[in-house]
Every structure is written in C-alpha cells, then in structure tokens.
Amino acid sequence: EAGVTQFPSHSVIEKGQTVTLRCDPISGHDNLYWYRRVMGKEIKFLLHFVKESKQDESGMPNNRFLAERTGGTYSTLKVQPAELEDSGVYFCASSQARFKAFFGQGTRLTVV
C-alpha cells in the first residue's frame, strides 16, 4: 500500500514569491490534515479536510495560506506571498477513521 506522499521534499523561495505544496493521501482516506513544524517546536495543526470539505481550518496562520482538496483526493497548500516566518517543515497526514493518522515525509520550506 502506498503511503502519504508529499511534493516537493524541499523548496527554497524568496520572500514575496508563491509556493504550492502537494499532498497525496493514502487511497480511500477521507481525512486529510496539514501540519507545520517550525524551528524544532511542536507539530502545529493547520487544517483538516473531510473529503473535499474543510472540517477545521482554525490553525491556518493568515489569509496568505490557501488549502484546497478538489475532488476529495490530493490536496494543495499554497503560500502567497511567502514571508520569512513561513519557513518550516509542512507535514500532511491522512486517516480513514479519525484515528491512526499516517504522515507524509514532509516538505521543508525555506523562505529567504
């Protein structure tokens, strides 16, 4: 069974540019989560999709972040325009029920 996959694995962009991260969940998993870990701190929740609907987006830092999950399959997280404090590792996770979430390998975003 394929796991959660994320693209790209690394991204270095300049402040003010746009970056789009992609997550392909495990097939059949309705729940998809985005998380971010900044500077060795805790893994912080960004948002939660159930199929194509946003169940909870209370963790999204501001309106520069936009997440989509068209068709309830893969998801994208766009940051526009990127700021220095957006640097970190962005994790995607998926689960079938609302337990046992499986993580992707993360996208390391560096804004310079």
User: Is the C-alpha dihedral spanning 104, 9, 16, 78 positive or negative?
Assistant: negative
C-alpha to C-alpha distance for 72 and 37, rounded to whole angstroms? 25
Q: Which of 64, 20, 29 is nearest to 48 (CA)?
A: 29
Residue 25 in contact with residue 5, Cβ under 8 Å?
no
Q: For residue 103, state whether it binds other proteins (rule: CB under 8 A).
A: yes
Q: For residue 22, state whether it binds other proteins (rule: CB under 8 A).
A: no
Q: Site mask, other proteins, residues 51-80, x = CB under 8 A?
A: ----xx--x---------------------
Non-local (6+) Cβ contacts of 95 within 8 A are 29, 31, 33, 101, 102
Q: For residue 2, state whether it binds other proteins (rule: CB under 8 A).
A: no
Q: For residue 4, state whether it binds other proteins (rule: CB under 8 A).
A: yes
As measured in angstroms, the least distance from the Cβ of 22 to other proteins is 15
Among 17, 22, 30, 45, binds other proteins (CB under 8 A): 45
Which residues in this chain contact other proteins in the complex, by CB under 8 A?
Answer: 3-4, 33, 35, 40-45, 48, 55-56, 59, 91, 93, 98-106
